[in-house]
Structure 1
Amino acid sequence: MDDAVRLESLTKTYGSGDNAVSALRDVELSFPRGGFTAIMGPSGSGKSTLLQCAAGLDRPTSGRVFIDGQDISALNETQLTELRRASTGFIFQSFNLLPSLTAEQNVGLPMRLAGHKPPRGAVREALAQVGLEHKAGSRPSQLSGGQQQRVAIARALVTRPAVLFADEPTGALDLTTGRELLSTLRELAGPGEGDGQVTTTIVMVTHDPNVAAYADRVLFLADGGLVGELQRPTAEAVAARMTYLAVSS
């Protein structure tokens, strides 16, 4: 299978009866291995719900989600948690680092919480992937905002996930730092180099055309459905499409 994530007839409805709100409507979508995909749409279009369902953080009302070839729709909560730990990583807008721990300890924390001792080499390798191996002993207060977000990326990468999900990862960063972070993500996407390296697939939600332009393609949502996509996007083309969606909605 060439898809890292596949969505089949994905529907998510909140509430019931007259109060029901459809966040996603029968979405059919796939994310190829090694691809870098940005998801955009007006407020309330369903992009964050799609990301959460695709990552296994929320269950759809109907339809199926496949991660790394496995149908997660039939998994119980314990099985789903184990699959997320093994196959996915998640980057949030907020860094969510523990201030009392070093960068190295923050990166290894999810593995410790799962009852596993993180291999020292794996933690150092994840920090090296984001250019912070020299900051392993630093605490968050000793790091810039961009460095903290890169530690958060290393934490998501330490288990070598098949898919890296990102929800507005540059939202808390200034323009220059955000560009540096996006360049890091751009370098991470694609097949791994060398023996034992995994293919990294990135799925990112953003509202910024300049951020979306770092991706291989941009998917556009409106009213809970897929309404278009751009391959090899430019910031200008993305902005024009978003303006069209705003006017037509």
Structure 2
Amino acid sequence: MNYDAIELRSVSRSHGSGDSAVTALDQVSLSFPRATFTAVMGPSGSGKSTLLQCAAGLDRPTSGSVSVGGTELTRLSETRLTLLRRERIGFVFQAFNLLPALTAEQNVALPLRLAGKRVAKSRVREVLEQVGLGERARHRPTEMSGGQQQRVALARALITRPEVLFADEPTGALDSQTSREVLALLRSMVDREGQTIVMVTHDPVAASYADRVIFLVDGRVNGELIGPSADDIAARMTKLEAVPC
């Protein structure tokens, strides 16, 4: 069967219990086809990060199911879930999370070393070339700009050839020019490499690089836009943020 990269069925996530319980996600059903770029947006507290964490197997839903490439995460033990994340899922965050004492190529190779796998130097160089940093392999993070560090973080996420790349505010710490370069790189990975990307962002310009934008409000899906412009996205966000809770 040709499964979607990710599928969420009636996913809810609550924190706490009784009268103090807070519902972060409420009966969310979504699918993310392979080789697509999806942005997730919504007002503060809408459940964006919880959605990403549940979809990526970093957090377990209170109810409902999450599948990655046809494998249902909710049925896996913690050990098997950790292995699946390590082998099939990539992560890029706002903070680059690079180890300052290591060179770019050593940072990129780290996930394989931690997994006890052999590291082929050719593969490390390949992903550094892919993100435009072939010449900076031996440079440490302090010798690189913020944009270059985020590219190293991206190469590190790609080293395992993940089925899905999750990006949480990946351009949040970058200036607008560097942000556009990183977003163009993400876009090209979808178009040229068939990568599947799910990105949480608050920035309409960043979201406009995606194929579709999903909007969350109070833990529920509140519509989507296909191939929208930054202006379309900003207008929708303005409406959502104006709705009284």
Q: Same fold (TM over 0.5)?
A: yes
2:158 matched to which residue of 1? 157
Mapped pair 1:219 → 2:214: yes
Letter of the aligned partner of 1:34 in structure 2? A
Structure 2 unaligned residues grouped into runs of 5+ = none
1:94 aligns with 2:89: no
Aligned length: 243
CA distance in 1, matches of 2:232, 2:46: 19
Identical amino acids, percent of aligned pairs: 63
Per-residue Cα deviation, 1:197-243 (whole angstroms, up to 9, x for no partner): xx310000000101100101000000000011000010000001001
Question: Is 1:207–2:208 an aligned residue pair?
Answer: no
CA drift at 1:248: 1.4
Aligned to 1:195: none
SS in 2 for 1:13: strand
User: Which deviations, in whole Å up to 9, do the C-alpha atoms of 1:21-68 show, x marking residues without a partner?
Assistant: 000001000001000000000000000000010001111101110011
Cα distance per residue 1:111-161 (max 9 Å; x no partner): 111111222121111111101111111110111100000000000000000
- Aligned-partner Cα distance in 2 for 1:146–1:132: 11
Residue 34 of structure 1 contacts residue 191 of structure 1 at CA under 8 Å; is this kept in 2? Answer: no
RMSD over equivalenced CA pairs, Å: 0.9
User: 115-124 vs 199-208, which deviates more?
Assistant: 115-124
- 3-state SS of 1:202 partner: strand
Alignment of 1:68-147 (within 5 A): 68-147=69-148
Runs (4+) of structure 1 exceeding 6 A deviation are none
SS in 1 for 2:5: strand
Which residue identity lines up with residue 70 of structure 2 in the other structure?
G
Give the Cα separation in 2 of the matches to 1:117 and 1:137. Answer: 19
Gaps of 5+ in 1: 193-198
How far off its partner does 1:80 sit?
Answer: 0.4
- So what's the TM-score if we normalise by structure 1? 0.96
Aligned partner of 1:61 in structure 2 is: 62
Q: TM-score, normalised by structure 2?
A: 0.97
> What is the letter of the counterpart of residue 219 of structure 1?
I
Post-superposition offset of 1:2: 4.3
